[in-house]
Amino acid sequence: MVKYGDVNITRLAKLTRLRYDTLKKELDFLAQYKIIEIIGTGRAKVIKLNYTNPKVIILKNLIEELESLDRS
């Protein structure tokens, strides 16, 4: 999600190659800990990273740093 930004649940399932029900369970877990926000209903949900959570900022920075090391 750092790479693709806000994404709907169907596209996220395709990107991760997870079944919808498995992905939904994992997303509910992340939402419970306020890592992500789930907006919408049914399969029309949009998933957003919750940038008000300091842990999300730390993870985003870590991922970006690791990606920059791979390019070096």
Which structure tokens are listed for 14? 């395709």
Judge whether 51 lies within some domain: yes
The reply to whether 1 falls in a domain is no
Other Cβ atoms closer than 10 A to 12: 19
CATH number at residue 60: 1.10.10.10
Domain boundaries, position 50: 7-71
**What distance in Å separates the CA atoms of residue 49 and residue 59, rounded to the nearest whole number?**
11
Block residue for tokens 């940038």: 51
Q: Which residue type is seen at 16?
A: T
Nearest partner of 56 among 38, 27, 30, 29, judged by Cα:
30
Q: Is the pTM of this model over 0.85?
A: no
Number of separate domains in the chain = 1
Q: Is residue 42 part of a domain?
A: yes
pLDDT 10s digits, 9-59: 889 999 999 999 999 999 999 999 999 999 988 768 899 999 999 999 999
**2 belongs to a structural domain:** no
Query: Confidence class of residue 71 from pLDDT cuts 50, 70 and 90?
Result: confident
Question: Could you tell me which of 34, 31, 33, 12 has the C-alpha nearest to residue 23?
Answer: 12
